[in-house]
């Protein structure tokens, strides 16, 4: 699907309510560097601006909304609202990827896989699924383009961002990372945890419960493993969630 500039202007106006003064900015916002036709610059510079705008918006918005949150929690909340998965979800929700000019043969398959995965996690997966970065880049570049086109108006841009990124993750809906859950329960239950990392060789991460025997660590129980060769952090998060679930079952069985 090749969307014309006029088509792109109309679609973005319907999605955001914003009308571009400079259609060339919008053209650039939806041009990937792989696109070989024409001489339009890619969206990378606009995405750079949009990334900064999003960070500032969420930092100031959360500072005002949640006066009791400490900087650490504010940082985690902001990160959850601007990370690759969250922004990729926004692009998918508004079908922004259909407006992108690119020559990436695998993108359609990656988006299809991502679309299936997000159905399991309505808000955020906390690092369990692999989001195509280009989807997040589209959102950042669109935000950057709106900011530049509006004469660097944060007020105009922030109003659009707030609607575009709904639902915004709040402290109540902020998910806890699986690795954090795992280490917290192990600390509470006085369990010694060890991670076996063979990701480079096998794509697998494994978590073990161990105990000291004659100054050596002996494996008591293999509590969780996951294999995902795409990204190590996803394999680790999936293994951690698996281990956490296994420990919960083990504790319930003991009680």
- Whether the Cβ atoms of residue 135 and residue 91 lie closer than 8 Å to each other: yes
Residue 40 scores a pLDDT above 90: no
pLDDT above 60 for 214: no
pLDDT of residue 219: 64
- What integer is the mean pLDDT of 28-47? 92
- Give me 100's structure tokens: 């992108």
* Overall average pLDDT of the 7-25 stretch: 91
Per-residue model confidence (pLDDT) at position 1: 40
How does residue 212 score in pLDDT terms, banded at 50, 70 and 90? low
* Helix segments in 68-177, DSSP class H: 71-82, 84-93, 107-118, 133-149, 154-164
Q: Is the pLDDT of residue 55 over 90?
A: yes
Q: What are phi and psi of 221, to 5 degrees?
A: -155, 135
Confidence of residue 110 (pLDDT cuts 50, 70, 90): very high
pLDDT at res. 254:
81
| 121 or 184, higher pLDDT | 184
Instruction: Give the confidence band of 210 by pLDDT, cuts at 50, 70, 90.
Output: confident
Q: What is the pLDDT of residue 215?
A: 57
Confidence tier at 213 by pLDDT (50, 70, 90): low
- DSSP-based three-state secondary structure for 228: coil
pLDDT class of 90 with cuts at 50, 70, 90? very high
- Are the C-beta atoms of residues 69 and 92 closer than 8 Å to each other? no
DSSP reduced 3-state for 212:
strand
Name the percent of the chain lying above pLDDT 90: 82
Between 217 and 192, name the one with better pLDDT.
Answer: 192
- Tell me: pLDDT of 74 over 50: yes
3-state secondary structure string across 149-207 = HCCCCHHHHHHHHHHHCCCCCCCCCCCCCHHHHHHHHHHHCCCEEEEEEEHHHHCEEEE
Residue 131 has phi, psi (to 5 degrees) of -95, 130
| Non-local CB neighbours of 132 within 8 Å, separated by 6+ positions | 88, 107, 110, 111, 114
pTM: 0.89
Average pLDDT, the chain: 92
Q: Please, are residues 143 and 50 in contact by the beta-carbon 8 Å criterion?
A: yes
Which pLDDT value is given to residue 9?
A: 84
Q: Which of 4-8, 17-21, 48-52 has the lowest mean pLDDT?
A: 4-8
pLDDT of residue 39: 79
Q: Residues for the chain: how many in total?
A: 255
What mean pLDDT do residues 201-206 have?
Answer: 96
Please give the DSSP secondary-structure letter assigned to residue 31: B
CA distance 79 to 59: 10
Which pLDDT score is estimated for 216?
61
The per-residue pLDDT for range 133-178, each reduced to its tens digit, is: 999 999 999 999 999 999 999 999 999 999 999 999 999 999 899 9
């Amino acid at each position: 699907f090749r969307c014309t500039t006029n088509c792109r202007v109309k679609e973005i106006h319907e999605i955001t309510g914003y009308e571009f003064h400079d259609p060339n900015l919008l053209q650039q916002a939806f041009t990937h560097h792989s696109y070989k036709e024409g001489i339009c610059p890619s969206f990378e510079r606009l995405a750079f601006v949009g990334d900064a705008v999003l960070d500032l918006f969420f930092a100031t918005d959360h500072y005002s909304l949640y006066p009791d949150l400490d900087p650490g929690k504010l940082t985690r909340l902001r990160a959850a609202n601007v990370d690759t998965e969250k922004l990729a979800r926004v692009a998918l929700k508004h079908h922004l990827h259909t407006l992108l000019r690119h020559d990436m043969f695998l993108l359609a398959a990656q988006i299809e896989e991502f679309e299936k995965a997000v159905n399991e996690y309505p808000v955020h997966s906390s690092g369990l699924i692999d989001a195509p970065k280009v989807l997040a880049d589209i959102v950042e570049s669109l935000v950057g383009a709106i900011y530049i086109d509006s004469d660097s108006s944060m007020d105009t841009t922030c109003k659009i961002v707030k609607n575009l990124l709904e639902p915004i993750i709040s402290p109540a809906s902020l998910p806890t990372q699986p690795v954090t859950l795992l280490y917290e329960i192990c600390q509470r239950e006085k369990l010694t945890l060890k991670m076996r990392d063979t990701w480079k060789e096998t794509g697998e991460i494994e978590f073990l419960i161990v105990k000291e025997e004659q100054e050596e660590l002996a494996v008591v129980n293999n509590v969780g493993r996951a294999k995902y060769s795409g990204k190590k952090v996803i394999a680790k998060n999936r293994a951690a969630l698996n281990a956490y679930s296994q420990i919960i079952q083990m504790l319930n069985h003991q009680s």
